[in-house]
Amino acid sequence: MNAKTQPGIHLLAGVSSIALSALVAAIFAAVTVHADARLPAYEPSTPPATAISGAPDFSIAPAAPRLVSIQPPKPVSDPSNPAATFHGVASWYGPRFNGHLTANGEVFDMYALTAATTEFHPRLPLGTKVRVVDHRTGRSVVVRITDRGPLPNGRIIDLSYGAARKLAMVRHGVAYVHLHVLQWGKDRYHDGGK
């Protein structure tokens, strides 16, 4: 092999290499297309969710939950009916009021099973005994209404710390509850020593 033929061989080898690469790529592409053509097309058995009537459009973020305002309980038409029930949010109070006089004249004991309702609550008179049932857990406790106080809107009862412990709601602070009247009270207020 002489010096003149050596560059020609290199050129021929390079062209052959490129041609071979192109041929391999073409065969691979043909086999791939042919293989795809033999596979059956995917057809879902049910239409996509957006095609179902009444289904909401897809979104990345879930829709905000619908908030329901809690209405105050309706008045009891027959106060002698011990089966009266109410639903709403319960909270609890304790250390700051421990040892103070309640609306009915008793000294508040945060460990006793008592409760307060709003100042203008004609439905649960002072002295009324109610069973408070936590809607979420099913736990219950019987309390006596001994006090009144301004409660945030939507709350129907403020339990003593002791009652809140029985319902295991101290850490959460509030719970959605059912109140079942067991015995109606006479709504006797403390007269302040007059």
* CATH code for the domain of 146: 2.40.40.10
pLDDT confidence tier of residue 193, bands split at 50, 70 and 90: very low
Residue 48 lies in a domain: no
Residue 33 lies in a domain: yes
| pLDDT value for 107 | 94
| pLDDT value for 12 | 67
Report the chain's mean pLDDT, rounded to a whole number: 74
Residue 34 lies in a domain: yes
Residue 45 lies in a domain: no
User: What is the pTM assigned to this prediction?
Assistant: 0.56
Q: Return the closest-CA partner of residue 94 out of 163, 160, 158, 143.
A: 160
Residue 78 lies in a domain: no
Cα distance between residue 115 and residue 131, in whole Å: 11
Q: Are residues 29 and 102 in the same domain?
A: no
Over residues 83-138, the pLDDT tens digits come to: 688 889 999 998 899 999 998 889 999 999 999 987 655 578 889 999 999 999 99
**H or E stretch including 87?**
strand 85-93
Q: Are residues 32 and 97 in the same domain?
A: no
127: left (phi over 0), alpha (psi -120 to 50) or beta: left
The alpha carbon of residue 99 and the mean position of all alpha carbons in its chain are separated, in whole angstroms, by: 36
Q: Are residues 95 and 156 in the same domain?
A: yes
Residue 70 lies in a domain: no
Number of domains the chain contains: 2
Q: Are residues 27 and 91 in the same domain?
A: no
Mean pLDDT along residues 156-160: 93
Cα distance between residue 141 and residue 132, in whole Å: 5
Domain that holds residue 16: 7-38
Q: Are residues 29 and 104 in the same domain?
A: no
Q: Return the closest-CA partner of residue 151 out of 159, 162, 143.
A: 159
